Structure 1
């Protein structure tokens, strides 16, 4: 198992990009080693609660055994890697991500949980030298949509997976089906510029929304037995509308949009957002729908 690329910061504490970075992936690296990565570190516990209905679906589909060698692509602050390590108690887990800040948090969480079988590497999964057939299972929770070269990334991941090994990942379906984003941004729309979630098929959260594209990419990379299952679950947004507003407005994307509005427009936007989210408050807090694909495949 490759345990290299563990650099976290330079002498001034600034996050550094990984040594090996695929062409076209510089913007993603800068984002995840900047404000975006820092945001998700601060919101780690909130994020895990948001995904509490989704993470078990991924883990059940992965079929991790006690002695499995597991690779977690886009592991972020370590939530899924730690879950995999608990399942692979006699195995190994490697979490890989572009984000130095998030990996530093993942290491802290793993140490606190007493899970020595999990390690983390800062790297670009499109080109990272994982080693041939080094893993039995590859998982990813919303980490597969950001590749500049998805064909190359999946070929590299396939090489790292032993023949007969299993791939399981979650990715988003169409934006229009994901109320956890459409509802808040529709509330903000009269007052701030529209968000840019990327062109169809371009690197971004909805690049794998087309199941036909998923199947074609996996087939071309050497996977068979592909299953693309629709998963619809409520997304927890916050304990109440104020918590949900605080979380949403701390996102670098939302903060940037609000910064472009005048003071009066910004105040109206926040009031509209709070009113909208209050209408979705229930016994479990504020929840909105989310729509994902749960994808599984085997290495041919």
Structure 2
């Protein structure tokens, strides 16, 4: 399978299906973020379809929130959700912006938050430098990021099941995240960027699913691996292969996925999936 670009338009339309899975992370991130007082200017980096910024703004009336993402589709959805919740545009805004080149003044932000965005993509050091530049002295940054790949349980299981079918783009991204999870590496980037009082915490939680079908629906949906799985040669049994480079059918991939998650099956047939992520915070 050839390398492909991530289809953010398709991913965005189904992204809210994975938000319940990540809800405990948003709750913990908000709990451990200081400085959420009326009048504070909060920057939510890689805000996706609006979280955790929308919840943060509702929990802390009076804060001013700017959520940024590089995808226009994600930003459009976040804006619609803010309007539907009755959040004033003067207080809650979403904009297309690159975290490596923030279009914000020096010393203009009180709090930076990011859930599974910062310290995970192309140039984490540039992201930290920009966050440190826009933070006011004494301002804070709170980040949730994946730790080792196996802690992102369902995605790890699906990628393992895909094996050689996994496009190089996704395989490279997974390898990079594993490297970034090297103990102390992300913390060193925060210090190098000019931040101090760095703290770190491994946060674990569990997500329950009624059966394997529910697991597969989530994993194979557009917000996760739908774009990849849609390219697998899903021919009926007995038919010759239409593409000799593809040796597995969708059914084979699903069976391999089932094997990967079988250890989390409960006696009643439900599944309890463990997750863990790294929480980091620092002060400007």
TM-score, scaled to structure 1? 0.77
Q: Provide closer, same or farther for how the CA distance between residues 223 and 113 of structure 1 changes in structure 2, counting only shifts above 3 A.
A: same
1:269 lines up with 2:241 in the alignment: no
State whether structure 2 residue 124 is matched by structure 1 residue 150. Answer: yes
Match of 2:156 among 177, 182, 189: 182
Distance 1:253 1:285 in 2: 22
1:17 aligns to what?
none
Q: Would you say how many aligned residue pairs link Structure 1 and Structure 2?
A: 263
Residues 49 and 253 (structure 1 numbering): CA distance in 2 closer, same or farther, change over 3 Å? closer
The alpha carbon displacement at 1:186 in A equals 3.7
Displacement after TM superposition at 1:239 (Å): 4.9
8 Å contact 1:225–1:298 — kept in the other structure?
A: yes
Match status 1:208 vs 2:185: no
Q: Flag the 1:200–1:77 CA change in 2: closer, same or farther, 3 A.
A: closer
Distance 1:179 1:75 in 2: 22
Structure 2 gaps of 5+ residues are 238-248
Note if contact 2:187-2:280 (Cα within 8 Å) is conserved in structure 1: no
Find the aligned partners of 1:66 and 1:288 in 2 and give their Cα distance. Answer: 37
Shift, 1:201, TM fit: 7.5
How does the TM-score come out when normalised to structure 2?
A: 0.81
User: Cα RMSD between the aligned structures?
Assistant: 2.9
2:58 is the alignment partner of 1:74: no
Residues 14-38 of structure 1: per-residue CA shift (max 9 Å, x gap): xxxxxxxxxxxxx99x63xxx2343
Q: Is the 8 A contact 1:187 1:269 kept in 2?
A: yes
Structure 1 residue 289 corresponds to structure 2 residue 274: yes
Runs of 4+ in 1 over 6 A off after TM superposition: none
Counterparts of 2:175 and 2:257 in 1: how far apart (Å)?
A: 29
Q: Deviations over 1:152-174 (max 9, x none)?
A: 22111111111111100100111
What is residue 129 of structure 1 aligned with on the other side? 103
Compare 148-157 and 253-262 and name the one that shifted more: 253-262
Using the alignment, how far apart are the partners of 2:275 and 2:132 within structure 1? 28
Return closer, same or farther for 1:133/1:97 CA change in 2, 3 Å cut-off: same
- Could you tell me whether the CA contact under 8 Å between 1:147 and 1:153 is conserved in 2? no
Structure of greater Rg: 2
Secondary structure of 1:297's aligned partner? strand
